[in-house]
Amino acid sequence: MPANNICDSATYLCPAEITFGTTRYADVDTCPNCSDFNLFGSTNLQATVWYEFNTNQTGGSVFLTMDILLPPTIPNLDGAIQLRIVKKNNSCSPLSFQTIGNTFSSTSVDTTFIFTDLDPNSNYGIIINESYLGISNPGVDFTILISGSAVESVLPSGILEFPDTICANQNTEFTLSMNDCSNPVSIQWLINESVISSGLSPIFVSAEINQGDIVSAIFNCNSDCPNPVTISTVPLSVNSFNIDAGNDTTINPGETIQLNAYTDSPNFYWDTQLFISSTNVLNPFVYPDETFTYPFVASNNGCILYDYVTVFVREGLEIPNTYSPNGDNLNDSWKIPNIEFYPQNKLTIYNRYGVLLESFSPYTPSAEWTGIWKGKDLPEGVYFYVLEVNDTEKNIYKGTISIIR
């Protein structure tokens, strides 16, 4: 059974496109509620197939050209193929149909049917019947082609707009302006023929544009007769330069350190006036009194890039003097806050007799003292420590640590 056996599944005809058709195995009937709605007014059984098309905004004439590929089973049978056109208004209710002209007939010859004065922006149906007349295996194969002023359409066009200057690693906006396509049904955006996004947006934003890339937009304005239009840029020129504010570093309170930035752009500056000796040199001296991030900015041909370097200022050590290694998972090890800022530290722990109990080099949050010596828990009491932080000032902390169980 053909897919277009009934009105609800009519095959859509696109202008200037040849469509293959057949009445073979179509429903054979004729009545007001049958597949042809008895539009031909015949009492003979009919094998019916349906087609449809839409007129453009001007309307006018339509030419339907049918080429018979396989004649009827009984040659030279007058009226073996019949054709009728109706204005169906996107409905398959016979009550909404308006018949156009008379019924046209053809046998085994190639024929062009002409319909004039069709309304603009309207939906029309084409009903093709083959008279059955008791034939055991009806079937006519044919092609059908639609043309004419009422269905001709203007091929849409478009342009891509984008900035004169494209900056590397920064968002660039591309805008598609379409002509003769007020309601596109799809828009695809591509970079170098690879689809990046699909939808209906005429705007595309990307920070992934590289030197020589080609950005394209493919848009389609007709869901029934797809005719995609591709608009592409020339290979794009991308403005690129290097910038590096340097590596993050850590200092002690009151220290001064020199930054080491780099850029191959002649235009740069440090975007702060705080704790810095100069803002227009690559290697200024800085002296923050607390952790501080320095923004470094470079520009070239309208493009601006940013990089950042953070100078961490170590916080002073406040060493707890008690802890309780009793296995309750609370304060079971001796934690020294901020000790990780002194990676070169060395800690030694003694009992009151001066016996070395433990040594750490360095002492870290992942390796803390739990009050064990030679595999056994040390008793409650007071113990002594020496902490060499080995910073630039070679500070040494000494004190007591009490174990409470």
Distance CA 145, CA 400 (A): 100
**Fold: same for 157-238 and 322-403:** yes
Distance CA 349, CA 185 (A): 77
The per-residue pLDDT for range 15-39, each reduced to its tens digit, is: 989 999 988 877 766 555 566 666 6
Query: For the range 347-352, what are the long-range contacts, defined as Cβ-Cβ under 8 Å and sequence gap of 24 or more?
Result: 347/385, 347/386, 347/387, 347/388, 348/385, 348/386, 349/383, 349/384, 349/385, 349/401, 350/383, 350/384, 350/385, 350/386, 351/378, 351/381, 351/383, 351/384, 352/381, 352/382, 352/383, 352/384
Q: What are the extents of the domains in the chain?
A: 7-147, 157-238, 243-313, 322-403
Q: For 157-238, which CATH superfamily applies? A: Immunoglobulins (2.60.40.10)
Is the CA virtual torsion 17, 23, 27, 33 positive or negative? positive
Backbone angles phi, psi at 339, to 5 degrees: -65, -25
Would you state the pLDDT for residue 122? 94
Fold entry, domain 322-403: Immunoglobulin-like (2.60.40)
Would you state the pLDDT for residue 342? 87
Would you state the pLDDT for residue 282? 98
Q: In the predicted model, what is the mean pLDDT of residues 221-247? A: 93
Q: In the predicted model, what is the mean pLDDT of residues 94-123? A: 81
The per-residue pLDDT for range 131-157, each reduced to its tens digit, is: 655 444 557 888 999 999 999 988 899
Determine the distance from the C-alpha atom of residue 70 to the mean position of all C-alpha atoms in its chain, rounded to a whole number.
Answer: 49
Domain spanning 243-313 has what CATH number? 2.60.40.10
For residue 82, which amino acid is it? Answer: Q
Higher local confidence (pLDDT), 276 or 33: 276
The per-residue pLDDT for range 181-215, each reduced to its tens digit, is: 888 999 999 999 999 999 999 999 999 999 999 99
Fold entry, domain 7-147: Jelly Rolls (2.60.120)
Q: Are 129 and 104 in contact (CB under 8 A)?
A: no
Instruction: Provide CB contacts within 8 A for 164, sequence distance 6+.
Output: none
